[in-house]
Chain A
Amino acid sequence: MIVAKNIHKSFDQLKVLQGIDLQVKEQEVVVVIGPSGSGKSTFLRCLNLLEEPSDGEITIDGMNVTAKNADINKIRQNVGMVFQRFNLFPHKTAIENITMAPMKVRKLSEQEAQKVARDLLAKVGLQDKENAYPDQLSGGQQQRVAIARALAMKPKVMLFDEPTSALDPEMVGEVLSVMKDLARDGMTMVVVTHEMGFAREVGDRVLFMDEGRVIEEGTPEQIFGNPQNERTRAFLNKIL
């Protein structure tokens, strides 16, 4: 589903990514962990071209993302993204947040889009909040609306950029549980997170990144149970 080859990214002199390779199969959940500044968010943002890689090639669902003539808007319709800070549209209600892109981009009618949105709001457990504005919702609720908003475009892949890092601790669970449901339903997911419990439970594969490189990669059992690399061990020791 996703093939990334030798991804480099530099901001001026700063080399943030130094040759990342990743293959994600359909329905696979890949969790990316690593210390802050390791480039994991930047890598995730390269996958839907929110950051343009300085070098390397990315293919998603057979479409070359990094090609010069790539139709990036078309590609992004297939790649949902959930942000650390939710980024809901504050001037729109929950349901309007969800229906906007399907109506403007996929050209659904308002009724069709609302039907999709209501189903998704029910799925994330917020059917009674459709008319609430983002600032009337808690952080966890906002993030669940954001997930529903991304899902409304019926993406083939979902990218999660530290989706629980900006949440109060008691709200982390509700967001993770929505993500678990999504994984169980067979969504292909790449998740950057510090939630090791989630990585262990839901991840098919875990990538440990540091200083712009993938240091170690394996099943959750391998990475958490028997890390081979010293840096992986040091990182896990610090946070577990």
Chain B
Amino acid sequence: MELFKILQIWQAALPVLLVGLKITVQLTVIAVLFGSIIGLFVALAKLSNYKLLRYPAIIYIEFFRGSPLLVQLFLFYFGLPQLLGHPVDRFMAAAFVLSLNCGAYIAEIFRAGIQSIERGQMEAARSLGMTHAQAMRHVILPQAFKRVIPPLGNEFIIMLKDTSLVSVIGLADMARTGQLIIANTYRALEIWFLVAIIYIIMTVMISEFFVNRMERRLKAGDRS
């Protein structure tokens, strides 16, 4: 009887939760996509010999890694309008902050990946007359990408879960939706359990389909 009741509650809650899930997935995809692009360029900037590139990269990374995501969300959603003179869109603010936050972590992942490639690789490429940029693009980065897939997958999983923080600026992501359902039904245990399961399904999907597959595919041919 008890199980039947739980299933009933879940059945009623699921369609509503899926609406929230849509926001969660959208934000994750945006953050991961832009975060990866930002991260790559910031990593290259941080490794640059030019201070004009290196210092801004360091400041950016330290800011977004050093302060809580929660504070960053407040700052950009409630603080930024003071500067702009008009309110900002919730979703835009969240997507912006999550992308920048994700970018800072991914920059450090890429930096470590690039630095883990033996010096001899760069030397061999340069000794053949390739420019630094050519050596980076054709020799260093392809190898670095392969090495950073596991930490990158980890970061994507963290990002998916961290999107739940956007509820603090009133965005109805999955976690926030769960909260709202509980406010109406008082079924905290059942609903939070369901929310957790949906998150787990998503993160398992990331690690299975993305990380394991990519790792296997990139390993084909080269076992080093």
Contact = CB atoms under 8 A, between A and B. Distances in A.
Contacts of A85: 118, 120
A80 B120 contact: no
B159 to A, nearest CB: 27
Interface string A120-136: 00000000000001110
Interface of A: 48, 50, 73-74, 76-77, 79-81, 83, 85, 87-91, 93, 100-101, 104-105, 133-135, 146, 149-150, 153
A130 to B, nearest CB: 14
Contacts, number: 74
B121 A101 contact: no
Nearest to A50: B123
Contact of A76 (B127, B139, B142, B222): B127
B7 to A, nearest CB: 50
Contacts of B142: 91
A156 to B, nearest CB: 12
Contacts of A149: 124, 128
A77 B221 CA distance: 29
B224 interface: yes
Interface string B58-69: 000000000000
Contacts of B118: 85, 87
Contact of B124 (A74, A77, A83, A91): A83
Interface residues of B, number: 22
B129 interface: yes
Please name the 7 residue pairs, one residue from A and one from B, whose CB atoms are nearest each other, closest first.
Answer: A77-B129, A101-B128, A87-B124, A87-B120, A81-B127, A90-B224, A76-B129
Contacts of A90: 143, 222, 224
Interface in B67-104: none
Main secondary structure of the interface of B (DSSP, over half): helix
A146 B128 CA distance: 11
Contacts of B127: 48, 50, 76, 79-81, 150
Among A48, A73, A91, the most chain B Cβ lie within 10 Å of the Cβ of A91
A149 to B, nearest CB: 7
Interface stretch (B36-44, B130-138, B164-172): B130-138
Contacts of A48: 127
Interface string B106-133: 0000000000001011011111111100
Given A50-B127, A76-B128, A100 B120 contact: no
A105 B128 contact: yes
Nearest to B146: A91
B128 A89 contact: no
Nearest to A105: B129
B222 A91 contact: yes
B142 to A, nearest CB: 5
A87 B123 contact: yes
B223 interface: yes
Given A50-B123, A85-B118, A104-B130, 4 more contacts: A73-B130, A89-B143, A149-B124, A153-B128
Contacts of B138: 100, 104
Nearest to B221: A133
B131 A73 contact: yes
8 contacts: A76-B128, A80-B127, A81-B124, A83-B120, A104-B130, A105-B128, A146-B124, A153-B129
